[in-house]
Amino acid sequence: MAHRSRIRWLFAVLAWLGAGAPVPAAPAFDTAPARAALQRLLPHHQSQLALVALQRTDADRFRISGTPGHIVVEGTSPAVQLAGVETYLEQVAHVSIGWPGDSLARLPAVLPAPASPIERRAVVPDRYSLNDTDDGYSNAYLDWAAWERKIDRLALHGIDEVFMPVGTEEAYRRTFRAFGYGDADIRAWIPAAAHQPWWLLQNMSGFDAPLSPRQFARRTALAQKIVARLRELGMAPVFPGYFGTVPPSFAAKHPGAKVVPQGSWVGFERPDWLDPRDPLYARVAATFYREQRALLGNATMYKMDLLHEGGRAGDVPVEAAAHQVMAALQAAHPGARWVMLGWQHNPLPAVIDALDHRRVLIVDGLSDRYDGLDRERDWHGTPYAFGSIPNFGGHSTLGANAGVWLERYAQWRNKPGSRLRGIAWMPEGSGYDPAAFALFTALAWEPVPRDASAWFASYATYRYGGADAHAAVAWRILGQTAYAMPSGEWSEPQDSLFNARPSLDVATAATWSPPSMRYDAGRLAQATCELLQVAPPLRHTSAYRYDLVDVARQALGNHARVLLPGLKTAYVSKDAARFHALSTQWLGEMELLDRLLASDPHFLLGGWLAPARAAAGNAAEAAQFEYDQRSILAAWGNRSGADRGGLHDYANRQLAGLVSGLYEARWRRYFATLEQSLASGKPPAKIDWFAMEHAWARSREAEPVVPQGDPWQLASEVAQRLAICRP
> Is 21 inside any structural domain?
no
> Is 509 inside any structural domain?
yes
Give the residue with greater pLDDT, 3 vs 481: 481
Given 411, 446, 480, the domain boundary residue is: 480
Residue 646's domain is classified under what CATH number? 1.20.120.670
Same-domain check for residues 291 and 375 = yes
Residue 77's domain is classified under what CATH number? 3.30.379.10
Same-domain check for residues 444 and 522 = no
**Residue 81 CA to chain centroid, in angstroms?**
23
* Mean pLDDT, the chain, whole residue set: 95
> 711-722 vs 576-597: helix axis angle to the nearest 10?
160
Same-domain check for residues 69 and 217 = no
Q: What is the pLDDT of residue 336?
A: 98
- Residue 144 CA to residue 687 CA, distance in Å, equals 42
Band (416; pLDDT cuts 50, 70, 90): very high
Is 27 a residue whose pLDDT tops 80?
Answer: no
> Is 47 inside any structural domain?
yes
Q: What is the pLDDT of residue 726?
A: 81
Is 635 a residue whose pLDDT tops 60?
Answer: yes
> Is 66 inside any structural domain?
yes
Same-domain check for residues 149 and 284 = yes
Q: What is the pLDDT of residue 475?
A: 98
- Residue 198 CA to residue 650 CA, distance in Å, equals 14
Mean pLDDT (whole number) for 664-693: 98
Whether the Cβ atoms of residue 657 and residue 606 lie closer than 8 Å to each other: yes
- Residue 295 CA to residue 59 CA, distance in Å, equals 31
Q: How many domains does the chain have?
A: 3
Q: What is the sign, positive or negative, of the torsion defined by CA atoms of 104, 109, 114, 118?
A: positive
For residue 573, what is the DSSP state? T
Band (26; pLDDT cuts 50, 70, 90): low
Band (544; pLDDT cuts 50, 70, 90): very high
Q: What is the pLDDT of residue 17?
A: 34
Q: What is the pLDDT of residue 23?
A: 45
Same-domain check for residues 620 and 651 = yes
> Is 3 inside any structural domain?
no
- Residue 506 CA to residue 561 CA, distance in Å, equals 10
Residue 418's domain is classified under what CATH number? 3.20.20.80
At 452-475, the pLDDT tens digits run: 999 999 999 999 999 999 999 999
- Residue 303 CA to residue 238 CA, distance in Å, equals 7
Given 90, 121, 152, the domain boundary residue is: 121
Same-domain check for residues 278 and 327 = yes
**Which one, of 591, 605, 590, lies nearest residue 707 by Cα?**
605
Is 543 a residue whose pLDDT tops 60?
Answer: yes
Is 19 a residue whose pLDDT tops 60?
Answer: no
Is 511 a residue whose pLDDT tops 70?
Answer: yes
Is 7 a residue whose pLDDT tops 80?
Answer: no
Same-domain check for residues 150 and 114 = no
C-alpha distances in angstroms, 522 versus 17, 94, 560? 72, 30, 13
Same-domain check for residues 314 and 292 = yes
For residue 104, what is the DSSP state? G
Write the DSSP string, 276-293.
Answer: TTSHHHHHHHHHHHHHHH
Write the DSSP string, 122-179.
Answer: BS-SEEEE--TTHHHHH-TT--HHHHHHHHHHHHHTT--EEE--TTHHHHHHHHHHTT
Is 260 a residue whose pLDDT tops 90?
Answer: yes
Residue type for 140, please? A
Domain holding 116, by residue range, is 31-121
Same-domain check for residues 93 and 239 = no
Residue type for 210, please? P
For residue 622, what is the DSSP state? H
- Residue 389 CA to residue 367 CA, distance in Å, equals 9
Same-domain check for residues 48 and 190 = no
Mean pLDDT (whole number) for 37-47: 98
At 319-368, the pLDDT tens digits run: 999 999 999 999 999 999 999 999 999 999 999 999 999 999 999 999 99
Band (275; pLDDT cuts 50, 70, 90): very high
At 695-712, the pLDDT tens digits run: 999 998 899 999 999 999
pTM of the full predicted structure? Answer: 0.95
Given 451, 480, 509, the domain boundary residue is: 480
At 569-610, the pLDDT tens digits run: 999 999 999 999 999 999 999 999 999 999 999 999 999 999
Residue 364: strand, helix, or coil: strand
Q: What is the pLDDT of residue 2?
A: 44
Residue % of the chain over a pLDDT of 70: 96
Residue 720: partners with Cβ closer than 8 Å, 6 or more residues away:
none
Residue 4 CB neighbours (<10 A): 10
Is 20 a residue whose pLDDT tops 70?
Answer: no
- Residue 349 CA to residue 370 CA, distance in Å, equals 19
Parallel, antiparallel or unpaired: strands 268-269 and 245-246:
unpaired
Same-domain check for residues 604 and 523 = yes
> Is 366 inside any structural domain?
yes
Band (1; pLDDT cuts 50, 70, 90): very low
For residue 452, what is the DSSP state? H
Question: Which range, of 355-364, 479-488, 573-582, 718-727, averages the lowest pLDDT?
Answer: 718-727
Same-domain check for residues 376 and 442 = yes
Question: Which range, of 25-34, 279-288, 388-397, averages the lowest pLDDT?
Answer: 25-34
> Is 727 inside any structural domain?
no
At 52-79, the pLDDT tens digits run: 999 999 999 999 999 999 999 999 999 9
> Is 487 inside any structural domain?
no
Is 185 a residue whose pLDDT tops 90?
Answer: yes
